[in-house]
Structure formats: structure tokens, C-alpha cells
Structure 1
């Protein structure tokens, strides 16, 4: 018997956008073509998320492990990020979207860092849904840095050891201020988190779909939200 959809909409959805390279390979196209198609999917899905009333959408755009890829591919990805900021920022600002960036993006080229800072600043006065982009992000590094900051506070006498609570740790994470993470989607059939939002995903619903990221669209997001609505979230209770 099918479980009915309760109509619940997740407040915060995070997506591991996987499969762009395989999408291109299946079509005998260069990997760049897959990444370019993936940017179009970002546009579709971010607009659909806003239309559905999702408060925050976090996209895993470039992990701290992605530096292991060929230099030419990294250059292509950086070029697509520049293009996205140039083409889409005006729409995000006009749609009242707040832009957040998590990760150590300051490792990028200075001109790209300046573009990212400018984009965040231009959207800073907005009050609507949040689009968070993870750039040079790794959850283990995030937790290490949060731990270091708390340890320095203890060493400096600012807080006691007993003051290190889950809330205190969350306050040091780069996602501080975002709604609790409700749903993590990974495309392409892989079933792992790949160092993405490990703390935040503690009680999130996980959904792994076979669709390659460039093919993920409004209908696919709607299906994912409907699946979320069928889940019974117990948070350790009955």
C-alpha cells in the first residue's frame, strides 16, 4: 500500500549534483558539455525550489577534493562559475534571493573571489529564500575549523569546556543561520555523502536517485519533495 504524501515541504534541501561527466560520456561529448548542461540544471532547480516554497537550497558545486581533477577541467568549472555569476545574479537579486557561499572559496583566483564577494554583497539586502553554494567545501575541514575556534575560546577563558554543546558547535559552522537540513538528494545513483554537510545531515532524510544531474529538473525535484512528504520523521522517537 502506497504511503500518502503529507504535503510537507522541506525547509532546507541540499543536493550533491553528481553525474555531469557521465552524462557527457554517454552522448560522446567532452566533459565540459556535461558541466555546462549541469549549470542549466542549477537554473531550473533553483527556480523550481523557490516556486515550491523551499526556504533554503544548498548546492555542492565544488568540493575540496575536486582539486584532484585535471587542471583543464578545473579551469572549465571556474569559467562556468564566472558565467553563472554574470548571467544569473540579476535574476537572483530581483527574485529577493539571499546568496550564501560555504567553503574556502578564497583559494580561487582573485578575480573570481571578487566576483563571489560582490554577488553576496549585492544580494545581502534581500529577505527571501536562500541559495547556498558550496565552493571548495569539505565537511571534515569545516568541523576541524569549528573545533579549533571553540578550543581557542576555552584556552582564552571565554567559555568553559562544558559550554561546548551541539548548539555551540552549530554556531561555528558555515551553515549557521540556515534552516535545519531536512533533505539531502544525490543524483547519478551513487549512495554516499562524499564529505558534504556531515554534521547538518544527522537527521536529514537521504534520497539517492539514478537521474544524472543535467537531467534533473522541476519534475524530479517535485518527486523528491513528494517522497520527503511520505517519510515519517521520528528524530529518535516513535
Structure 2
């Protein structure tokens, strides 16, 4: 059994850097490299949807210099790698409130989404300024009771995640896709995100393949 939709909480960039006596931004740069890698690995394994938790609404509590660096890295990767994404026929989709981003980064995100909108391969959801609770509130405010509630979520038209991988040792979902993860299989690893490897992904997928998903039934 292989998941159709994998979600990832990429945790541990700062701790990875501190363990190596490096500034925290080095951890974010390395984490971005691994994010690029996992897109390749999941595409090779024909996983149709991949959602990466890039920046939460709670992350605004961090030092401004670190926030600025995170968005600089995001903007640079989107600008530098967009053609590569298009060549792979992958579609970028942003989930979260982009209005709070600085205008330059927001424009790069929207242009990346538009440029890949006709791609028909793997869908890459990037959760930026994302909050699961806020998403549900937004959908509830828009919902008229006549259509599907899910059509007002950021992931409208997509299947819910089958599998969540969280790195870094924490065992919680941290306000991530609360509605969509009602029956998601959870996998936690102590590996810090910058150290996450292709073999770590295969270990996680092997674990998933052994699970019996009953969705409240008896199998």
C-alpha cells in the first residue's frame, strides 16, 4: 500500500544548526535543500500529492531576522527552481494566508502557482503562513450550507493526506491540516529535517505499507 498524499512537518532546522555550532539560517538553507530532495523522491515513487509545512502563523513569534531569512530562502528557491518544476510537469499550490507576506515574496508565490497551473503531474502544496484553525474558520465563514464544506478549504479538490511525516522528535501535529487529518496515519521520527534522507523516507513508507486503515470499521 502506497500513500496518494503525503504531508510533512519539516522540523529541526534550527536545532540541526545549533548542534553544529552554525547560525540558525544555515539550518534553514540545508532544510530547503532537503525539501527539494523530497519532492524528487516522492515524484520518483509516484506519490501524487505532497504537502510541506513551510511556515506557520505561529512562526511569526520568531526573531525578525530569522523570519526574513526564511522568506528570502523561499523566494530564491521558487525563482531559481521554477523551470525545473515545470519540466517535471509538477504543479505548485500554496495553502495559507499569503496576504501577510511582503509584496515581493507574495508575488513570487502567486507567479509560481500561476506558471505551473496547467501542469498535470505531481501536486506540491506549500503551506505558508498556514494555520489549521484559521483555515477551518475561513471555510466556515464562506460555506453556505448547500455545497461541500471541503470546497472552501485550501486543499479543495484534493484527497486528504494518507500519511503525515514529522521530523525532529516532536509528537504533535501543530495546528497543521486539522480538518484534513481526521484519519491520517501519523509517523514521527527523531531525525532532524536537514538530516532526513531518501532511506528515511523509505523507512517511513515501509511503516505506512504495514498499517491497516479501517476508517472506523473492523477491517
1:105 touches 1:113 (CA, 8 Å); kept in 2? yes
Aligned residues: 218
Match of 1:128 among 121, 134, 147: 121
Structure 2 match to 1:107: 100
Q: Give the TM-score normalised by the residue count of structure 1.
A: 0.90
Query: Structure 2 matches for 1:179-198, cutoff 5 A?
Result: 179-198=159-178
State yes or no: 1:208 paired with 2:181.
no
Shift of 1:222: 1.2
Residue 65 of structure 1 aligns to a residue whose secondary structure is helix
Shift of 1:176: 0.8
Residue 101 of structure 1 aligns to a residue whose secondary structure is strand
Match of 1:67 among 52, 57, 60: 60
Query: Structure 2 matches for 1:36-47, cutoff 5 A?
Result: 36-47=29-40
Residue 131 of structure 1 aligns to a residue whose secondary structure is strand
Query: Structure 2 matches for 1:23-172, cutoff 5 A?
Result: 23-150=16-143, 153=144, 159=146, 168-172=148-152
Residue 233 of structure 1 aligns to a residue whose secondary structure is coil
Deviations 1:127-153 (A, max 9, x none): 001000000000000001111112xx3
Deviation above 2 Å: which 4+ runs of structure 1? none
1:9 touches 1:53 (CA, 8 Å); kept in 2? no
Structure 1 portions without partners, runs of 5+: 1-7
Shift of 1:86: 1.5
Distance in structure 2 (CA, Å) of the matches to 1:105 and 1:46:
22
Residue 182 of structure 2 aligns to a residue whose secondary structure is helix
Distance in structure 2 (CA, Å) of the matches to 1:228 and 1:87:
33
Structure 2 match to 1:22: 15
Structure 2 portions without partners, runs of 5+: none
Residue 225 of structure 1 aligns to a residue whose secondary structure is helix
